[in-house]
Amino acid sequence: MNIYLHELRAYWKNTLIWTLSLGAGTVFMFSMFPAFSGNAVALSDALKNYPLMIQLAFGLFVDQIGSVSGFYSFIVTFLTLVGSVQAMTLGISVLSKETTGRTADFLLTRPVARGRVAAAKILAVFTCVAVTSAAFITLSAVCAQAVSGAPFNHRPLLLMALSFFFVQLMFLVLGFCAAAVIPKIRSVLPVSLSCVFAFFALGILAAMLGNEKLYYLSPFKYFETYRILTTASYNPPFLAAWGLVVAGLTAAGFQVFIRRDVRA
């Protein structure tokens, strides 16, 4: 479809930069592992009484401290932050640029239903995010294999890496819905940054207050690293909630975009 291709062409460079930066960051972080694990191994016993609350707040866990998976659970949070900013920026800008760039008069008077325009756009940015996530997951697996001295269970690591993609999707549709409701978002990056950091802080808050219900408020807590590390699986109610949130925001964004007035 022409709109889909047009958008992909418009975003490929941006996606490349984000993917390469994320990749570089990932490799850099992994390179710290040898130094990190050298220190950690000796103290696993003493850490067994490490209170859960603190572990959850900082993403560091007793039994996993020395392993690559445990280390990854720490760095994946930071990298997911970066990926979330990318996703939200894409989600917002794909819609808002028609308004701020005044090209809405052109695009929306083509013989294409608005729903299809929205679909093409969201599919395009979804593709960008998917590409970045795929690269990230692959790179994570490769690096983990490379730096880990001992064999390790791949499943928790892969699940954590996959959660990067899921969180990205949440921010993608959040940005999309936001731009549908507020067409004139001009400072896209600052808005995304602030939003992502706000949700991140919210997540830390929720962890500190120990209230699991509050976890639903922050995308960063839907795929809790501790749980993945210990049970090698996602938390079903959160997974369901994730599905609902993503579907709901997408549908809402579509509906608003289809119905709203396009001012000159």
Partner 1 sequence: MNVYLRETRSGLKSLIFWSLGVILFLAASVQKYSALSLDPASLDIMRQLPKALQEMFGVGYLDFAKLSGFYGMIYPYMVLMTAVHASMLGAVIVSKEERDHTSEFLYAKPASRLGLLGAKALAALTAALILNLVIGAASVSMFGSEPGMPGTIAQLCAGLFLTQLVFLALGVAAAAGFRQPKAATGIATGVMLAAYLLSVAIDVSGKLGALKPLTPFEYFDARRIIGRGEALNPWYVLLCLMLAAALTFWACLRFNRRDLKV
Partner 2 sequence: MAIVEVSHLKKYYGAARGIEDVSFSVEEGEFFGFIGPNGAGKSTTIRTLLALIRPTAGSASIFGKDCVKSAPEIARDVGYLPSEVFYYDGMRVGDLLKYSASFYKKDCRERIAYLAAQLDLDLKKKIDDLSFGNRKKVGIVQALLHSPKLIILDEPSAGLDPLMQQRFFELLREENRRGATVLFSSHVLSEVQKLCSRVAIIKEGRIIQLDAVGALREDNYKKVALEAKAALDEALFKMDGVASLSVNGSAAGFIYRGSVNQLLRVLSGLDLESVTIQEPDLEEIFLHYYQ
Which positions lie near partner 1, rule CB under 8 A? Answer: 21, 25, 28-29, 32, 35-36, 39-40, 42-43, 46-47, 49-51, 53-54, 57-58, 60, 65, 74, 78, 82, 85, 186-190, 193-194, 197-198, 201, 204-205, 208-210
Structure-block tokens of residue 204: 């830390």
Binding status of residue 104 toward partner 2 by CB under 8 A: yes
Binding status of residue 48 toward partner 2 by CB under 8 A: no
Structure-block tokens of residue 81: 């932050």
Q: Under the phi-then-psi rule, with left for phi > 0, alpha for psi from -120 to 50, and beta for the rest, what region is 32?
A: alpha
Instruction: State the minimum distance, in angstroms, from the CB of residue 185 to partner 2.
Output: 17
Instruction: State the minimum distance, in angstroms, from the CB of residue 7 to partner 2.
Output: 10
Look at the chain and count its residues: 264
What's the CA gap between 9 and 192, in Å, rounded? 22
Which 109-168 residues touch partner 2, going by CB under 8 A?
A: 109-114, 116
Q: Which does 104 bind (CB under 5 to 8 A by kind): partner 2, partner 1, none?
A: partner 2
Q: Mark the segment that binds partner 2 (CB under 8 A) among 100-108, 165-173, 191-199, 240-248.
A: 100-108
Instruction: Say which DSSP state 264 is in.
Output: -
Binding status of residue 12 toward partner 2 by CB under 8 A: no
Q: Which does 259 bind (CB under 5 to 8 A by kind): partner 2, partner 1, none?
A: partner 2
What's the CA gap between 189 and 178, in Å, rounded? 13
Q: What is the largest CA-CA distance in the chain?
A: 68
Distances from the Cα of 73 to the Cα of 2, 26, 27, 117, angstroms? 40, 12, 15, 38
